[in-house]
Structure formats: structure tokens, C-alpha cells
Amino acid sequence: MQEKLDNLRERIIAAIAAAASVADLDAVETEQLGRKGELAVLLKSLGGLDPEVRKEMGMRANAVKGEITLALAARRRELQADAFAGLAKAERIDVTLPGQRPPEGHLHLTSQAIRDITEIFARLGFYRVRHPEVEWDWYAFEALNMPGDHPARDEWETFFMDAPSHGEKGRMVLTPHTSSGQVREMERREPPIRMVNISKCYRRQMDVSHTPVFHQFEGLLIDRDVNVTHLRGVLDFFARSYFGPERKTRLRPYHFRFTEPSFEVDISCGLCGGTGRLGDGGKCRLCKEGWLELGGAGMVHPNVLRFGGLDPEEWGGFAFGWGVERTMMMRSGIMLGDIRELYRNDLRFLRQF
């Protein structure tokens, strides 16, 4: 037994001395002094010895265990001192080196367009507003001079809310256009008015150029002695600021219930320069004839002014309303053939802009 203890002591001391790292030393300690280690097994075997011999061997075994424990502690201090001594070199940081920029996101393409549009009209004195996305039928249709049988008031065109109706203002709807903010703005602010209402709109449409939820911006100017020339000047200023200095606008007579006269607004094609022909003489594949449809505009209808509490003999104005996504898709460099791509949350697409 004495010989076994001595041999075990020598092997463990040698293993401790050979440990090259704190991790190696921990492995030696677990293997030799653990519950299943050689020393533990040897101590269990003392129970079969005579009492006198067991007592003597027990004292000797405890002495060996203490000696091994001291050797472990001494070697651990040495290894830790070596590790700490190398930290200055191993973990050296050169604070003069440029840092690594963390990944950064950016605004969604639609949010970028909203900011750009707001900034352009701010240069002309237009202030940004937001009116309710859940609206009363009266503001969305009636106050905009739309009769009860107008197609836009059909349930297959507009999202009507399952909510109690208002006695005077009718049913509640998800606003189908930002034009519903026109009368609200006249009610809450004395003219002159120069507002841009940018908000979400909702319609029952889904295809390559429509989504059920989209954004519109509505411009409204109310003042004295306002005419179509002022409207044309504002539209040209926006087109040149947003699409480029070479772009022009065109007004085509149209019919909207809330403006009179009314116009469809076209913008000269950026691909063919408004000529309808490409450099090789072929027909422009984008516009076909030199112009792209942008949106609607016109002089505010006298009935809409009356609904807003204004005298059309004293006040006049113009309004225009276009889809933010549609306008942005017509910008040079935005090669987007399906508006639904904007809201599929595909980072491979969004990171391009």
C-alpha cells in the first residue's frame, strides 16, 4: 500500500508539472483527485486493512493528498502568471486604427420619397399635415361633391367599417384618398392655406400598379385670386425638383367631382426626353408617346369651398393628389415593374436603394 501511494504521488506530481495551461491543470485535477480518480479508488481500498495498518495508511494518504493539493496551487499560480504576462501582447489594441462600422439600415424607399416630397413643397410654403386614416363618409365623399350613387362609394371599391354610423356624417370608412383632408383643413384653419397631406390610403385593388394599402400626398392651396397658372407653376416646380431639371408637365382636361376645371397631369418621359422616340429611331417602350400619367389636379370646386365654410366668391384654390409610390416609381433610376415589391420586405431588393 505504501508503495502504491508513493508511485501515485510521483505520477500525479509529474502530471502537474507537465501541465502547459490552466485548462490542462484542471483536467489533471479532475482526473486524479475527482470521485473516480486513482487516489479516491485507493482510499476506498483502505477499508479492507487491519485497523492499525488502516490508521497509518490513512494518515499517509491524507499527507499525499495535501502535498498534491499544494503542488496544484503552486502550478496554477505559475500558469496564471504566464498567461497574464502575455496579455499585453496577445490583446494589444492599436487605438489609432480605424474602427469597424457596424451594419446600418436606411429608410424604406417610400419613406425616402415622403421626405423628398415634403421638402420640395416646403420650399413653396406648403406645410405638412396628416388627417385621419379612418374617416367619415361625409369628408371622404359627400363634402367632395360626390353623390350617393358615385362608383367610389360602392362596397367593392371602398373599405367601409363595421361601426355605428354618424347621424350627419354617415358611415365610417378607411379613407380611400387624402382628398378627404381638404374640407377638414378648411374647417380648422383660416385661409390662406397651403397644405400637403401625406397619409396611408385604402382601396380594394391589388395588381402590379396597385396595393390595398398605399400612400398619397394631397396638395391644397386656398387664397384670393388663384388661377390655373399658379397650379401649373407649382406642378412644374415639383416635376423639375423631384424628377430632374429637364422634365416638364402637361395638363389634360379631365373630370373630378371635387375640382372644376379638372386635369390629368402628365410628365415628360425621362427615357426618351418627351419625344416618344429613342436614339435608334424606335418607339419609346416606356411612354409610347413622350408622356407619362402622374396624377390628378384642378381648381377647387365651389361646392367643396362651401362645405369647408368658405365663400367661393371670395376664395379660390387648387388641389392635386398623387400616389407616393407611383410618383417614386417614375423617378429616373427606379426600375420597378411591380409596386408590390416595395412591401414584400425582401432585403435583397430594399438594400439596392
Residue with cell 350617393: 148
Q: Give domain 109-350's CATH number out of 3.30.930.10, 3.40.1190.10, 3.40.50.720, 1.20.1250.20.
A: 3.30.930.10
pLDDT confidence bin for 314, thresholds 50/70/90: very high
The DSSP symbol for 119 reads H
- pLDDT > 80? residue 151: no
For residue 153, what is the DSSP state? Answer: G
Nearest to 120 by CA among 38, 243, 214: 243
**Which pLDDT band holds residue 54 (cuts at 50, 70, 90)?**
low
pLDDT at 43 over 70: no
Average pLDDT, the chain: 84
Query: Which residue(s) pair with 274 in the sheet?
Result: none
Residue ranges per domain, the chain? 2-90, 109-350
pLDDT greater than 70 at residue 7? yes
In which band, very low, low, confident or very high, does the pLDDT at 2 lie, cut at 50, 70 and 90? low
> How far apart, in whole angstroms, are the C-alpha atoms of residue 181 and residue 303?
15
At 167-209, the pLDDT tens digits run: 888 889 999 899 999 999 999 999 999 999 999 999 887 777 7
User: In this model, does residue 166 exceed pLDDT 70?
Assistant: yes
The CA distance from 340 to 210, in Å, is 8
Q: Is the pLDDT of residue 77 over 80?
A: yes
Give which of 255, 199, 254, 190 is closest to 222, Cα–Cα. 190
For the ranges 29-38, 70-79, 193-202, 263-272, the lowest mean pLDDT is seen at 29-38
Q: For residue 218, what pLDDT is reported?
A: 93
Taking CA atoms, 82 is separated from 69, 186, 215, in Å, by 20, 80, 65
Describe the crossing of helices 228-242 and 109-122 by its angle, rounded to 10 degrees: 130
Angle between helix 2-18 and 51-85 (nearest 10): 10
What digits encode the pLDDT tens for the residues 203-257?
887 777 778 889 999 999 999 999 999 999 999 999 999 988 888 888 999 998 8
| DSSP classification of residue 126 | P
Instruction: Say if residues 259 and 222 touch (Cβ distance below 8 Å).
Output: no
Q: Write down the pLDDT at residue 306.
A: 95
Q: What are phi and psi of 277, to 5 degrees?
A: -125, 145
Q: Name the helix (H) or strand (E) containing 165.
A: none
Q: Is 141 exposed, middle or buried (0-12, 13-18, 19+ CB in 10 A)?
A: buried
pLDDT category of residue 335 using cuts at 50, 70 and 90: low
Task: Give the span between the Cα atoms of 84 and 82, in whole angstroms.
Answer: 6
Per-residue confidence band for 147, with pLDDT thresholds at 50, 70 and 90: confident
Section 103-119 average pLDDT: 91
Confidence of residue 49 (pLDDT cuts 50, 70, 90): low
Q: For residues 274 and 284, give the distance between their C-alpha atoms in angstroms, rounded to a whole number.
A: 9
Q: Which residues of 299-328 are buried (b: 16+ CB within 10 A; e: fewer)?
A: bbbbebbebbebeeeebbbbbbbbbbbbbb
Q: 149-153, 246-250, 346-350 — which is least confidently predicted?
A: 149-153
Q: Would you give the distance in Å from CA 352 to the centre of its chain?
A: 14
Which range has the top average pLDDT, 71-85, 140-154, 200-214, 237-251? Answer: 237-251
Predicted confidence at residue 234, as pLDDT, reads 94
The Cα-based distances of 181 to 21, 28, 31, 50, 320 in angstroms read: 74, 79, 80, 104, 12
Whole-number pLDDT of residue 216: 92
Confidence of residue 129 (pLDDT cuts 50, 70, 90): very high
Q: Considering just the CA atoms, what is the radius of gyration of the chain in Å? A: 41
Name the residue with higher pLDDT: 345 or 316: 316
Q: List pLDDT tens digits, range 261-297.
A: 999 999 887 767 778 887 777 787 667 788 888 889 9
Alpha-carbon span 1 to 148, nearest angstrom: 109
pLDDT at 64: 76
